[in-house]
Amino acid sequence: MIQLSVPQVEKEQKWLPFLAKHLSTPITEPLFKGEPSKDYPYPWSINKWLDGETLTLNKIDDLNQFAYDLGKFLVDLQSIDATGGPLAGEHNFYRGGDLVVYDKECREAINNNADTFNKHLLEEIWGLALTSEWDGEPVWVHGDVVPGNILIKNGRLYAVIDFGILGIGDPSCDAAMAWTFFDDSSRKIFKDTLNFDEETWNRARGWALWKALITYNYNEQSNKAVADEQFNIIKVIINDYENQR
């Protein structure tokens, strides 16, 4: 697994200083690159320390404001010139690429849990996500926008870290927190700030559904806490979809 992360060092060293210059929100910035040695056979980085606490709901003063701030950060990231950037692919687990790469995996998870969830409804949500592709120029995607990669300070968004699966392509993959973290009100603000069309929003929902399903499927028998969390996310996705139909 560690070998999959090796290319991330060079990518972050090359692109993060460039991106940081164009963003008002602090991001990870490399200070030093270490070379492979007999003690550790891979390249490595030392990054600039960023203050702040890992995102949790109780650290945010205003969830609606946070939804706007995070959406604005992603819009700013997407607006940076992506010429020469790393196209989505195996190096970043296809974040920014075509969701169809996970079609078999997602459908297997749906079938495995047909007794728990409405199979036909999940297939409808997933199928809708696959009916469109990004037809614009590739834009920058963080690729792993989750609470563990977001820092809070004084109740507000402070910084975004861990750009290991950075790439360029379809921005829909960066919006999964709409269903995994936000409530109805803040989800709408997040969507409005991102200004996604419905097809891009459908793909974003697909990214959230795929990850929640495979995580639930993997942990259902072994880790109840994780399984329960993903169960709740899947129900949020279903309820939100039904309310929008």
The closest alpha carbon to 10, from 109, 115, 92, belongs to: 92
**Residues 157 and 70 sit within 8 Å (Cβ to Cβ):** yes
Q: What is the pLDDT of residues 88-115, one digit of tens each?
A: 998 899 999 999 999 999 999 999 999 9
Q: What is the pLDDT of residues 37-79, one digit of tens each?
A: 999 999 999 999 999 999 999 999 999 999 999 999 999 999 9
Structure tokens at 72: 């604005």
Q: pLDDT at position 154, please?
A: 98
Q: pLDDT at position 212, please?
A: 98
Q: How far is CA 60 from the centre of its chain?
A: 19
Q: pLDDT at position 147, please?
A: 98
Helix pair angle (119-129, 224-244), 10° resolution: 70
**Domains delineated in the chain:** 51-244 (3.90.1200.10)
List, run by run, the mean pLDDT of 10-residue segments along the chain (245 residues). Answer: 74 96 97 93 93 97 98 98 96 95 98 97 98 97 98 98 96 98 98 98 98 97 97 98 90
